[in-house]
Amino acid sequence: MSEETEPGPVEEPPDYGADDWEDPVTGAVPKSELPDEIIEEVPHWTDDPYFDRVSDRLMYNYTLERDHRLRGERWDLYGEMRILNQKQFFHPALSYGDHESEEYLYARRVTRPTVGELKRLVELGHDLADERVTANEEHYRTDFTFVLVADELPEEVRSFVEGQRERTLLKYGYYGHYEVNLGVVVPDEQEAVAGEAADVVEAFVLWEDVTQPEEGVLSRLAKRFWK
């Protein structure tokens, strides 16, 4: 998903904490109507309405955590998603061709992102892959996605992130692959840019519905949970 949204005619920053704010996602279910067992597992970003609204979109698919620490750095939002794709004959006990996919999502606020910082995050993603990816026949895909929620979007950052893709094949693809994805979002200006495979950034673009131009990971999940 190579996504770029241009700044809209925003006269003042949207109030994501307002009681009358409505998510433009088609068929979105209000949090107040969800079962308690789902809500109880979702952290609340009471001091940051924007992240709280983003978590409303992510909570169906990700295990979420706030104020996550990684190698001495703080991330406002952290999420994990794991999917097991399983082929079956006529009974679940007769399964074959299991494939595992997972994503590690890190998001935080910054004032002004830089290309240098984004390059460092790409290297961090590769380091995490060395630690966490188990390369075997059952592994299909692992994503490490970093989203910066910024006050502004410098042009050089936009150019660096737009169309970015960092894909590494494991044993020539026999053991699957992993991706390091980037996204930068400026909520107050209603603009965002994301790498080619950074599907989850759609969840951070609160001023738009979730689009499904391709069968990406988030697009498939959106069809299941958001409609």
- Is the pLDDT reported for residue 114 higher than 90? yes
What span, in angstroms and rounded, lies between the C-alpha atoms of 147 and 77? Answer: 9
In a domain, 219, yes or no: yes
Question: What's residue 4's pLDDT?
Answer: 62
In a domain, 6, yes or no: no
Residue pLDDT, tens place only, 66-85: 999 999 999 999 999 988 65
State the residue range of the domain holding 177.
13-225
In a domain, 45, yes or no: yes
* Phi and psi torsions of 64, nearest 5°: -105, 155
Residue pLDDT, tens place only, 184-222: 999 999 999 999 999 999 999 999 876 654 444 444 444
Question: What's residue 33's pLDDT?
Answer: 75
> Would you state the structure tokens that stand for residue 194, as one six-digit string?
């994301």
In a domain, 3, yes or no: no
In a domain, 7, yes or no: no
- Is the pLDDT reported for residue 22 higher than 90? no
Number of domains, the chain: 1
Q: Judge contact between 175 and 137, C-beta under 8 A.
A: yes
* Phi and psi torsions of 158, nearest 5°: -55, -45
- Is the pLDDT reported for residue 139 higher than 60? yes
- DSSP secondary structure letters along 135-148: -STTEEEEEEEEEE
In a domain, 42, yes or no: yes
In a domain, 150, yes or no: yes
Pairing relationship of beta strands 191-194 and 3-5 according to DSSP bridges: antiparallel
In a domain, 4, yes or no: no
**Average pLDDT of the residues of the chain:** 83
Q: Judge contact between 184 and 145, C-beta under 8 A.
A: no
- Is the pLDDT reported for residue 169 higher than 90? yes
